């Protein structure tokens, strides 16, 4: 892949299928054919280069809700060899400020009110002013040039579940490989219609949901954000014909409990989920409603890596699995010494391939620690593989605790708890215990109008997991703190005031 030159799929489709619908922006009501979208991207590239001097390696940050404009700026920066940095609008101004100081952008484009008082000479422009410059730019004023596959094009800052966010570098090759992986796993074609609700400051929204249909000449429909009632309406609308929808399990759960839920009218190839544990009971429930819920595994550093087949029988039989490796990636499970583990034994996921990030922005030591000597990324996730080659996520290495000399992976315990009919959500952490060294503390969110006692939860777990894995404490809470991508902030749980115990 070293000498591979990045191709511009959008530019190709502008010539091959110029009148085909490319993008719809629900917030503004605007739409673009591939010819129109290509022209919009080229005008934006001209404006960025001509008015702001954006060129190779320069960072352009954007702070905005989902929109087609955000997509256009991302594509334009990639054409210029610049680096696109989408900021998480859910962060506080001080958190955003730390990211801006880290990536030092030459320009910030925003439609949200934020004050970064401690960054002198930061160039900030509002969307209206920026779009006015774009409208006056001439597409003929700039010669297009090819880019190396190794050119960094996106900088995504991780959610930071246990510390400060890190900037993950994504290259042209990474984006292309993830688009290929997603397309194969999810059966993407030129007739695919993607609905993008996931935030575009996250890998699911910006890369998985956008780059795969763009590569294949499909249609992308962008909403400003997730609203379960509106999403239900759009998924059931035959005029829209949505075929692909990506979300975290919590979003899928919100859909089934919201007004207008009519899965019998959906035309989805699959309801694709990831980013957080998804109990097998959820998968089978959706299958019973005629919807293929397709779990997968990925992360900011590797994009789409594993995914379940679309076959309903396999989805049911292997419910709880994150599937099989995508074609443009390689997966290993290793022990503490780096040796591959046999099927059925837990090990850390190592990932290799053109989809894997080259590392973290300005963090050479962290990058070095994250890769093996022969180039495999250490994901920190623990999994196992069954005899048929299907992978299962057991938990995070840093979340593991040792109880009575036995390793306990919280994700496995959480999956067992989530199968209880009264449990809406669950998270487990390890706490110090004088007898066993560590034991589990479970934080449980109950479904509406449900109650449960400790003995019942313990008995339920005992029917599904080993005795030493059963939490010693069960605490009922109203909600669990989560990142934008659906991951539980377990560092916050450790400092959470202890609520009432399940009665």
Q: Do 94 and 114 touch, CB atoms closer than 8 A?
A: no
312 and 413 fall within a common domain: no
Distance CA 449, CA 259 (A): 19
433 and 362 fall within a common domain: no
- Residue 436: its pLDDT value, please? 81
313 and 444 fall within a common domain: no
Q: Does residue 502 lie within any of the structural domains?
A: no
Query: Residue 386 maps to which CATH number?
Result: 3.40.50.12780
- Residue 159: its pLDDT value, please? 61
Which of these three, 363, 391, 419, is where a domain ends? Answer: 391
482 and 405 fall within a common domain: yes
Q: Does residue 503 lie within any of the structural domains?
A: no
- Residue 370: its pLDDT value, please? 94
Higher-confidence position of 352 and 499: 352
pLDDT, tens digit, 9 for 90 and up, residues 52-103: 999 999 999 999 999 999 999 999 999 999 999 999 888 878 888 889 999 9
pLDDT, tens digit, 9 for 90 and up, residues 400-427: 788 877 778 788 888 889 889 999 989 9
95 and 130 fall within a common domain: yes
Average pLDDT in the chain: 90
Query: Residue 449 maps to which CATH number?
Result: 3.30.300.30
77 and 41 fall within a common domain: yes
- Residue 133: its pLDDT value, please? 93
Assign 360 to helix, strand or coil: strand
382 and 404 fall within a common domain: no
235 and 375 fall within a common domain: yes
- Residue 485: its pLDDT value, please? 64
Per-residue pLDDT, averaged over 106-124, amounts to: 84
CA distances from 448 to 423, 424, 445, 451, 452 (A): 9, 8, 9, 9, 12
- Residue 3: its pLDDT value, please? 54
Q: Does residue 501 lie within any of the structural domains?
A: no
Which range marks the domain in which residue 441 is found? 400-494
Residues in the chain: 503
Has residue 249 got a pLDDT over 90? no
Which of these three, 369, 391, 413, is where a domain ends? Answer: 391
Q: Does residue 113 lie within any of the structural domains?
A: yes
Joined tokens for residue 203? 């890998």
Q: Does residue 14 lie within any of the structural domains?
A: yes
Grade residue 278 by pLDDT with cuts at 50, 70 and 90.
Answer: confident
263 and 351 fall within a common domain: yes
**Helix 34-52 vs helix 9-16: crossing angle, to nearest 10:** 140
Grade residue 116 by pLDDT with cuts at 50, 70 and 90.
Answer: confident
Report the number of distinct structural domains present in the chain: 2
Has residue 226 got a pLDDT over 70? yes
Q: Which residues pair with 219 in a beta bridge?
A: 193
Q: Do 194 and 219 touch, CB atoms closer than 8 A?
A: yes
Grade residue 199 by pLDDT with cuts at 50, 70 and 90.
Answer: very high
Grade residue 340 by pLDDT with cuts at 50, 70 and 90.
Answer: very high
Has residue 499 got a pLDDT over 60? no
pTM here? 0.84
- Residue 186: its pLDDT value, please? 97
281 and 371 fall within a common domain: yes
Phi, then psi, of 445 in degrees rounded to 5: -105, 125
347 and 414 fall within a common domain: no
- Residue 2: its pLDDT value, please? 52
What is the enclosing helix (H) or strand (E) of 258?
Answer: none
Q: Does residue 500 lie within any of the structural domains?
A: no
pLDDT, tens digit, 9 for 90 and up, residues 372-402: 999 999 999 999 999 999 999 988 777 878 8
Q: Does residue 109 lie within any of the structural domains?
A: yes
Q: Does residue 170 lie within any of the structural domains?
A: yes
Which of these three, 329, 360, 391, is where a domain ends? Answer: 391
pLDDT, tens digit, 9 for 90 and up, residues 147-165: 788 999 999 998 654 556 7
355 and 459 fall within a common domain: no
Beta carbons within 8 Å of 292's beta carbon, 6+ residues apart: 268, 269, 270, 271, 286, 310, 312, 315
């Amino acid at each position: 892949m070293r000498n591979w030159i990045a191709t511009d799929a959008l530019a190709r489709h502008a010539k091959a299928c110029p009148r085909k619908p490319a993008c719809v922006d629900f917030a503004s009501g605007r739409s673009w054919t591939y010819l129109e979208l290509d022209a919009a991207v080229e005008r934006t590239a001209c404006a960025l280069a001509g008015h702001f001097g954006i060129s190779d390696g320069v960072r352009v940050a954007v702070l905005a809700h989902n929109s087609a404009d955000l997509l256009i700026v991302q594509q334009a920066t990639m054409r210029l060899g610049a680096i696109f940095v989408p900021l998480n609008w859910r962060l506080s101004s001080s958190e955003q400020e730390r990211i801006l100081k880290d990536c030092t952008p030459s320009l910030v484009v925003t439609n949200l009110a934020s004050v970064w008082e401690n960054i002198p000479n930061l160039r900030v422009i509002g969307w209206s002013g920026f779009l006015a410059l774009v409208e006056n730019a001439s597409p003929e004023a700039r010669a297009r040039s090819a880019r190396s596959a190794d050119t960094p094009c996106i900088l995504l800052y991780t959610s930071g579940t246990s510390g400060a966010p890190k900037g993950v570098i994504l290259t042209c090759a990474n984006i292309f490989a993830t688009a290929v992986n997603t397309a194969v796993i999810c059966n993407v074609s030129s007739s695919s219609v993607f609905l993008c609700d996931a935030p575009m400051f996250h890998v699911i929204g910006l890369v998985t949901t956008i780059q795969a249909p763009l590569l294949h000449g499909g249609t992308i429909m962008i909403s400003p954000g997730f609203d379960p009632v509106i999403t239900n309406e759009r998924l059931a609308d035959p005029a829209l014909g949505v075929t692909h929808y990506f979300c975290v399990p919590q979003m899928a759960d919100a859909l089934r409990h919201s007004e207008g839920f009519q899965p019998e009218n959906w035309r989805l190839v699959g309801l694709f989920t990831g980013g957080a544990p998804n109990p097998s009971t959820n998968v089978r429930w959706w299958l019973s409603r005629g919807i293929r819920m397709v779990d997968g595994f990925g992360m900011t550093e590797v994009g789409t890596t594993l995914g379940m087949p679309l076959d309903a029988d396999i989805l049911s039989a292997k419910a709880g699995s994150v599937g099989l490796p995508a074609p443009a990636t390689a997966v290993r499970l290793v022990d503490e010494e780096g040796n591959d583990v046999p099927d059925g034994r837990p090990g850390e996921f190592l990932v290799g391939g053109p989809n894997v990030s080259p590392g973290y922005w300005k963090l050479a030591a962290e990058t070095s620690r994250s890769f093996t000597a022969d180039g495999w990324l250490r994901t920190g996730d623990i999994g196992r593989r069954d005899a048929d080659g299907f992978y299962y996520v057991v938990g995070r290495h840093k979340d593991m605790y040792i109880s009575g000399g036995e390793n306990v992976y919280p994700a496995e315990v959480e999956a067992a708890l989530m199968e209880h009919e009264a449990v809406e959500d669950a998270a487990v952490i390890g706490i110090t215990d004088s007898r066993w060294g560590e034991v589990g503390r479970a934080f449980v969110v109950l479904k509406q109008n449900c109650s449960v006692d400790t003995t019942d939860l313990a008995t339920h777990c005992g029917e599904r997991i080993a005795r030493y894995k059963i939490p010693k404490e069960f605490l009922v809470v109203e909600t669990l703190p989560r990142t934008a991508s659906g991951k539980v902030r377990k560092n916050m749980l450790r400092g959470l005031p202890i609520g009432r115990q399940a009665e």
